[in-house]
Structure 1
Amino acid sequence: MTTSSPAPKITLRRAVAGDADAAADVLLRSRAAALPTVAWPRSDSEVRDYFRDVVVPHRETWVAEVSSGGGIVGVMVLAGGEVVQLYLLPDWRGRGIGDHFVALAKERSPGGLTLWTFQVNKPAHRFYERHGFVAVEHTDGSGNEEREPDVRYAWQP
């Protein structure tokens, strides 16, 4: 007889100062896995400093944390009606955490949301479109630091 352990409990909560390094790590590991062809303009150290000094203390930053000391496996940053960041550790994709983050973002901005994603990130396109987002603008990337063509998505209730 085989027994399986219960799935770990995931909690979404506002980030605190002590979460900055783990949240930055989620972003860095996720981007490396999902977007290996994108040239990043900031070093890992600069990203960590930015999360510590700007993102966590001054932005509406949420983390997905695994119960029982499993750590932070996801991060979402909101700015008004925009999802600025939404990243999950690669091993935690496909477990519903992103769905919970999007539901939270819609709850926080019931009048609508926008976000940007790179054109090469087809899994992100499918994910956001599944949640009712529609592509409303495509660019050549000249307006972002990465100089990577991107897509702006919008969701309206």
Structure 2
Amino acid sequence: MSAGDRVVLRRAAGPDAAAVADVWLRSYSAALPSVVRARSDDEVRAYFREVVVPERETWLAEVAGRVVGVMVLAGDLLSQLYLDPEWRGRSIGDRFVALAKERNPTGLTLWTFQVNKPAHRFYERHGFVPVEYTDGSGNEEREPDVRYVWRP
């Protein structure tokens, strides 16, 4: 990111769905190489186009017109937070979490896979605490996960 590049967070709209899904796909592949995805690339793109962007509170991070991150809220559930791999470590995730807390000041919950140790460190740094560990039988990927909670 050059000095002139400004990160803008804004609500996603229909035309953003493909770019948002592509960020999700690139991020998932980079962050979770050992986790088998339950859906094909085309199914993920259709889900973002038909469900996530039109029906959920979907936010994106954009730099010079390029989508580099996505966050999805469903009430107090922070259901998605993915950054383009080359845009990690640039405080975009921090800004997304601050926005999620602003939108849900009474608290948040989220799930992440147990193998995703960088996510655990990230969320714990932001005040989230692990409250439940599962064997993965309740998620599509059948991957052990952990539920985190943040309370102000």
State the TM-score bracket (shorter-chain normalisation): over 0.9
Other-structure match for 2:76 = 81
Q: Percent identity?
A: 73
Offset at residue 5 of structure 1 (A): 4.7
Match of 1:45 among 39, 42, 45: 42
Where has structure 1 moved over 6 Å in runs of 4 or more? none
- Which protein shows a greater Rg? 1
How many corresponding residue pairs? Answer: 152
Offset at residue 89 of structure 1 (A): 0.3
The 1-side partners of 2:38 and 2:101 are apart by 30
Letter in 2 for 1:12: L
Where structure 2 has 5 or more consecutive residues not aligned to the other structure, the ranges are: none
Does structure 1 residue 123 correspond to structure 2 residue 109? no
Q: 1:17 to 1:129 in 2, by over 3 A?
A: same
Letter in 2 for 1:142: S
TM-score of the superposed pair, with normalisation by structure 1: 0.95
Match of 1:13 among 7, 10, 13: 10
TM-score of the superposed pair, with normalisation by structure 2: 0.98
Offset at residue 65 of structure 1 (A): 0.4
Match of 1:24 among 17, 21, 31: 21
The 2-side partners of 1:5 and 1:40 are apart by 34
Where structure 1 has 5 or more consecutive residues not aligned to the other structure, the ranges are: none
